[in-house]
Chains A and B, each alone.
Chain A
Amino acid sequence: EAQVTQNPRYLITVTGKKLTVTCSQNMNHEYMSWYRQDPGLGLRQIYYSMNVEVTDKGDVPEGYKVSRKEKRNFPLILESPSPNQTSLYFCASSLRVGAEAFFGQGTRLTVV
């Protein structure tokens, strides 16, 4: 089944403890991106990647890192999480730049 898989689905962590949210797609998509969703705001793009070893900042990249060592994986890294990073996170992939996005199931992160 074609899908985008995020893990974990839910995570509660403490301020400053490094964490990684994984994202994997099995559709051989070139383009992948990360978004966060906060109440009252639209999905905001954190980082995106057009292909392996090519990543770029979205609108809200501060406090996040990403890597794209393989085409299928695009992990989101929070080196030192803070409470303002408590949010619902979505990973998405597209066949190519500009194409429709396929979203993962979401990761609800709480930083206390």
Chain B
Amino acid sequence: ILNVEQSPQSLHVQEGDSTNFTCSFPSSNFYALHWYRWETAKSPEALFVMTLNGDEKKKGRISATLNTKEGYSYLYIKGSQPEDSATYLCAFSRDGQNFVFGPGTRLSVLP
């Protein structure tokens, strides 16, 4: 089974702070890396689908970068807001069919 790691496991930031977290995955046979946002008592929702080395994606205050050669992706949140509080998941795939999720980074934004 492939190993996908995320760090940190959890973090607390103040409203207005910018933050970032890491997803590490195998650097061989890359097909896709997905980021999802999972709020408590809801279902995971897709943030980004990343497929090319060097990809940079942005949605509002959230952005992500991808380095497939070294096997990592960063998720950045600029000016964190309380509504950003959630668990952020990454999912790695070598074929677009079988996805391995990381354990997630739990973000708490304090007002």
Residues of chain A whose beta carbon lies under 8 Å from any beta carbon of chain B: 31, 33, 35, 40-45, 48, 50, 56, 58-59, 90, 97-106
Given A42-B4, A105-B43, A106-B43, A100 and B49 touching (CB < 8 A)? yes
Residue among A40, A97, A101, A106 having the largest count of chain B Cβ atoms under 10 Å: A101
Contact residues in B for A97 (Cβ distance below 8 Å): 95-97
- Chain B 87-111 per-residue mask, 1 if CB under 8 angstroms from chain A, else 0: 0010101011111111110000000
Q: Can you identify 16 A-B contacts, CB atoms within 8 angstroms?
A: A41-B103, A42-B4, A42-B100, A42-B103, A45-B98, A45-B99, A45-B100, A48-B98, A58-B98, A59-B98, A97-B95, A98-B31, A98-B51, A98-B97, A99-B49, A100-B46
Given contact pairs A33-B99, A98-B49, A106-B43, a sample of 9 additional A-B residue pairs in the complex whose CB atoms are under 8 Å apart = A42-B4, A42-B103, A45-B100, A90-B43, A90-B44, A97-B95, A97-B97, A98-B51, A103-B43
Chain B proximity of A110: nearest CB distance (Å): 17
Question: Is there an interface contact between B46 and A102, defined as CB atoms closer than 8 Å?
Answer: yes
Query: Which chain B residue shows the least CB distance to A106?
Result: B43
Given A42-B104, A43-B101, A50-B97, A103 and B45 touching (CB < 8 A)? yes
Bound together, the chains give a CA A9 to CA B98 distance in angstroms of: 25
CB contacts under 8 Å to A, within B61-107, are 89, 91, 93, 95-104
Contact partner of A100 (CB less than 8 A), chosen from B34, B100, B102, is: B34
Contact residues in B for A44 (Cβ distance below 8 Å): 101
Residue among A35, A90, A100, A106 having the largest count of chain B Cβ atoms under 10 Å: A100
Contact residues in B for A50 (Cβ distance below 8 Å): 97
Contact partner of A31 (CB less than 8 A), chosen from B32, B91, B97, is: B97
Question: Is there an interface contact between A98 and B93, defined as CB atoms closer than 8 Å?
Answer: yes
Given A98-B32, A98-B51, A59 and B100 touching (CB < 8 A)? yes
